[in-house]
Structure 1
Amino acid sequence: MAGAPDTARAAVVLLHGGRADGLAPPPRLNLPALRMRPFGAAVIRTRRERNLLLATVRYRCRGWNGSQADAARDAHEALDELAVRAPDLPVVLVGHSMGGRAALLTGGHHAVRGIVALAPWCPPDEPVAQLRNRTVALLHDPHDRITSADDTWALGARARQSGARVHEFAMPRGGHTMIHGARHWHRLTASLVAAIVDGAP
């Protein structure tokens, strides 16, 4: 966790990707978690957001694991812990792939102001009612071969009908790993986080 809870004006919580199934803990060299570091750095570099608390959720399991939804459970527990350490601090969730799914599913937590979901995993039957009155930014490359951009846009449409403020961004490249054109992904994410924290439309 970077930053001081007593001086922060908002918190950004990073949720990395994983697997559909996997009960083992993430490895010590966790590439999905490393991929999120430049996003955190970009958010912190944003001039208007120097007073941000930056945190990363550590999953107990590598996988989502069906109805166990382990990543979402870990995210919710992390938000509860953060709310105890820094009461009333608004939170923006930034999640990639499985982490994007976890962010969207836990977006109804009372501390969450908004979500930035990067190439999220959005099954067709995923609930969206919890996103009411939240700002949701969805970034996806239509050429992604791991998760479906069409599923992401469909979830966005359903979330909008449920009262979420949804913004969709079709990224010109990057695929699922977001490596090609990475600076665009990083800068846009940082700008969106700043806008959510500032309450900008």
Structure 2
Amino acid sequence: MNSAPHPRTRVFAPPSGQDVRAVVLVMHGGRESSRAQVNRYQLAYLRMVPFARDIAAHGRGHGISVWLLRNRYRGWNAPDLDPVQDARWALARIREQHGDVPVVLVGHSMGGRVALRVGGDRGVVAVVGLAPWCEEGEPVEQLAGRAVLIAHGDLDRMTDPRLSHRLARRAKAATDRVARFEVVGERHAMLRRAAVWTRLVTGFVLGVLETQPMDPAVTNAMKAPSPEGLRVLL
């Protein structure tokens, strides 16, 4: 009999002997319904490896550890919400190993929905949703006190940019630190302008963790009244 699958993490740690002062948890996309197990060769998982590596490369000297989560199953699988359970498992492991260090969540597509859902968990200070899968009525009150970055390709046909815009507007009522960008000419896979996505995410993460000044584009978007700061073109 096959044993039940377990979520897994790939950790990009700071140099040996350096204390971990913050953790970035990176989460991949998936499907609405699927009990197929996730393997390390699937494109949704592989798409997040460059983000994890870039954040680690720029943050490891500042004590930032990056955890790349691989879910048990490919699906969201309501009402079980398997990837939400996996994210909370990873957050518990982070607390076990590093205590109450600040945590930034970065997720793409379904992973973006997961990041937003668990954004209220203990220790989370910021959430990044890349082309997030949003539904009408998605909760936002858990984002109170967090910094939130959403980015969506304007040509995305897999997840709806209009829905992430509506979510961002509602999130602005829960926290005043919300910025949303539209990446011009980009689709769901984030490959046409990969460098733009990576630079935006790494800059936001390092800025919110105060290892470098925040990107002025993000700062200006957060200061702008809704909806001006929620449809900034890149």
Bucket of the pairwise TM-score, normalised by the shorter protein? over 0.9
1:190 maps to a residue whose letter is T
> For residues 8 and 173 of structure 1, do their structure 2 counterparts lie closer, same or farther at Cα, with a shift above 3 Å needed?
farther
Question: Does the aligned pair in 2 maintain the 1:6–1:86 contact within 8 Å?
Answer: no
Q: Does 2:75 match 1:63?
A: yes
Equivalent position SS for 1:77: helix
Unaligned runs of 5+ in 1: none
Equivalent position SS for 1:29: coil
* Superposed CA RMSD: 1.8
Corresponding residue to 2:105 among 64, 71, 93:
93
Unaligned runs of 5+ in 2: 1-10, 220-234
Percent same amino acid among aligned pairs?
37
Question: Does the aligned pair in 1 maintain the 2:147–2:175 contact within 8 Å?
Answer: no
Encode CA deviations 1:29-61: one digit per residue, 9 max, x unaligned: 221111101111221232686421010122111
Query: How many residue pairs were aligned?
Result: 201
TM-score scaled to structure 2, two decimals? 0.81
Question: Does the aligned pair in 1 maintain the 2:32–2:75 contact within 8 Å?
Answer: yes
Encode CA deviations 1:143-187: one digit per residue, 9 max, x unaligned: 100001110011111111123521111111321000001011111
Q: Does 2:138 match 1:141?
A: no
Distance of 1:118 and 1:32 partners within structure 2: 12
Distance of 1:48 and 1:75 partners within structure 2: 22
Number of the residue aligned with 1:154: 166
2:120 maps to a residue whose letter is G
Corresponding residue to 1:104 among 107, 113, 116:
116
Distance of 1:176 and 1:33 partners within structure 2: 14
Distance of 1:92 and 1:127 partners within structure 2: 19
- Listed as ranges, the matches of 1:34-183 within 5 Å are 34-46=46-58, 50-183=62-195
Higher relative contact order (CA 8 A, sep 6+): 1
- Look at both structures and tell me which one has the larger radius of gyration over its CA atoms: 2
Distance of 1:45 and 1:11 partners within structure 2: 13
Question: Does the aligned pair in 2 maintain the 1:43–1:49 contact within 8 Å?
Answer: no
Number of the residue aligned with 1:12: 24
Equivalent position SS for 1:167: strand
Distance of 2:73 and 2:57 partners within structure 1: 31
